[in-house]
Structure 1
């Protein structure tokens, strides 16, 4: 199973107002293992970033002017993501920019290129209702260091999100449940869970001594109740 964790940085909030992508980064996972095969592109948006956006990513117009436009690298991007499950934190935001850039380049929509698009923010909200589920908050919750994250860079954020995603979904391939405060399970919630394979479970049979101890325990229950206990009554009914 090929999964891509993706993040973008932009000049502003809305492509319909002429804002563009300035950075896109992808981190590849195969069968839940990071492969080290990343895709990272800085992009020339042919415009300035809004001050608020520049304060977030720190990518100046002069720096970006030395990099290719999206249409020049669109095919490379398409080849990388095609057919994969793409995991994005707050996917609606990134998707509208990706679709706008692809449309401008005369390419198919982002949704049509991917095998599946998964919003890790929606997943986190289902897993941790009522809690903060920003990338920073999830890193703190799962013990993932983001101390080196002073600006939002797409590649760094993708790498952090990959670690967060593996932590959030570890219950999908192991019968291990971790519980947070309040008793909420953080590992099993059924979203996108893999098929359960009972053949992987080890079967342990009771020893003769354990069976004898069990019978003696039931004898005590019978004596205290003055009649066969429910366990033995049910066994007799099934016989």
Structure 2
């Protein structure tokens, strides 16, 4: 059975999470194995520092004053990724930030999580690297560029296209499988829990958690807490896959 996907994009204060740069917005798009969107979510994140290049991500300091910190959404975020292939465009960038934020949130990861890199595979199949160029080449609409949800949606569309190209490519299948294995079997978060990446991830500091329900509902709760400061492109939506309506 083919795996489903979880596409992630982050907007950040800068380029170096290993120093002091932080996530200021995160977008997640969940798709079925064919790349059709099932659910999407985004939230501003309070980085507890200056906001970085507003000219790029369009987020001002006032926008994040009431937004959750990353630790507030870490547990349900990991739950939402459970059993899916995690994808990002320029995955090393997004995974470096995810690694750093999870570490600050009390998860101990010995190494950076891996993910399927749509930029790498677009370079192989399309010859382009930048998300905007890839989307233009294959006819995918890119709206709200440099917003976390806008870029995640466009990447999800690119993944759908790449999935068709890679259907008989053993390297694509191996890369997809590795990303799925590293994210499979995520446990309930909490003190002493491991996050399920194959290289290990230990939660070192317990704290009160949201009630255990559908993780997508739990992320909706996180979004609601900062709804008054969400930028116009930020939203949460559940989409019924087309084949379910037939």
TM range (shorter): 0.5 to 0.7
The separation in 1 between residues aligned to 2:36 and 2:128, in whole angstroms, is: 26
Find the counterpart in structure 2 of residue 30 from structure 1: 32
Find the counterpart in structure 1 of residue 125 from structure 2: 127
Three-state SS of the structure 2 residue aligned to 1:98 is: helix
Find the counterpart in structure 2 of residue 118 from structure 1: 116
The separation in 2 between residues aligned to 1:27 and 1:138, in whole angstroms, is: 18
* Mapped pair 1:191 → 2:187: no
**Number of paired residues?**
172
Over 3 Å counting, the alpha-carbon distance change for 1:16 and 1:87 in structure 2 is: same
Question: Once superposed, what is the RMSD of the aligned Cα atoms?
Answer: 2.3
Does the 8 Å CA contact 1:47/1:61 hold for their aligned counterparts?
no
Does the 8 Å CA contact 1:99/1:110 hold for their aligned counterparts?
no
- TM superposition shift of 1:16: 2.3
Find the counterpart in structure 2 of residue 160 from structure 1: 154
Does the 8 Å CA contact 1:44/1:70 hold for their aligned counterparts?
yes
Three-state SS of the structure 2 residue aligned to 1:19 is: coil
Over 3 Å counting, the alpha-carbon distance change for 1:82 and 1:107 in structure 2 is: farther
Which protein shows a greater Rg? Answer: 1
Structure 2 unmatched ranges of 5 or more: 175-246
Structural mapping, 1:1-239, within 5 Å: 1-50=3-52, 53-109=53-109, 117-128=115-126, 131-146=127-142, 148-149=143-144, 151-173=145-167, 189-193=169-173
Find the counterpart in structure 2 of residue 215 from structure 1: none
- TM superposition shift of 1:14: 0.5
Does the 8 Å CA contact 2:46/2:70 hold for their aligned counterparts?
yes
- TM superposition shift of 1:189: 4.8
Q: What TM-score do you get using the length of structure 2 for normalisation?
A: 0.64
- TM superposition shift of 1:82: 2.7
1:1-57 CA distances to partner (integer Å, 9 max, x unpaired)? 22111100001111122110011111111222424322322100011122xx32111
Does the 8 Å CA contact 2:35/2:159 hold for their aligned counterparts?
no
1:194-237 CA distances to partner (integer Å, 9 max, x unpaired)? 9xxxxxxxxxxxxxxxxxxxxxxxxxxxxxxxxxxxxxxxxxxx
Extract structure 1 runs of 4+ deviating beyond 4 A: none
The separation in 2 between residues aligned to 1:170 and 1:54, in whole angstroms, is: 36
